[in-house]
């Protein structure tokens, strides 16, 4: 704001207040939670020969992966 001489009392700039815009949508309630069961019957089996080769090639570093897959698919 430019300085005026002599000093004048502060007068705010006239402006129109901004209207409150309503939300264009209604907030939706939380959806109901569902429990999902997955049947793994007839799923893929662990290829133990492949995992044995990978374990040998990686000097045993692949062994934990193989163990987790074997336990999960048993």
Judge contact between 46 and 69, C-beta under 8 A. Answer: yes
Average pLDDT taken over every residue of the chain:
80
Is residue 47 scored above 70 in pLDDT?
A: yes
Q: What are phi and psi of 52, to 5 degrees?
A: -65, -45
| Pairwise pLDDT comparison (59 vs 20), residue with the higher score | 59
Judge contact between 63 and 55, C-beta under 8 A. Answer: yes
Percent of the chain's residues with pLDDT above 70: 76
| Pairwise pLDDT comparison (14 vs 61), residue with the higher score | 61
pLDDT at 41: 63
Q: Averaged over 26-39, what is the pLDDT?
A: 75
């Amino acid at each position: 704001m430019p300085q005026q001489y002599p000093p004048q009392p502060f007068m705010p700039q006239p402006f129109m207040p901004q209207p409150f815009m309503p939300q264009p949508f209604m907030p939706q309630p939380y959806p109901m939670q569902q429990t999902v069961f997955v049947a793994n019957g007839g799923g893929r089996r662990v290829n133990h020969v492949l995992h044995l080769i990978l374990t040998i090639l990686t000097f045993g570093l692949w062994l934990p992966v193989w163990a987790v897959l074997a336990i999960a698919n048993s």
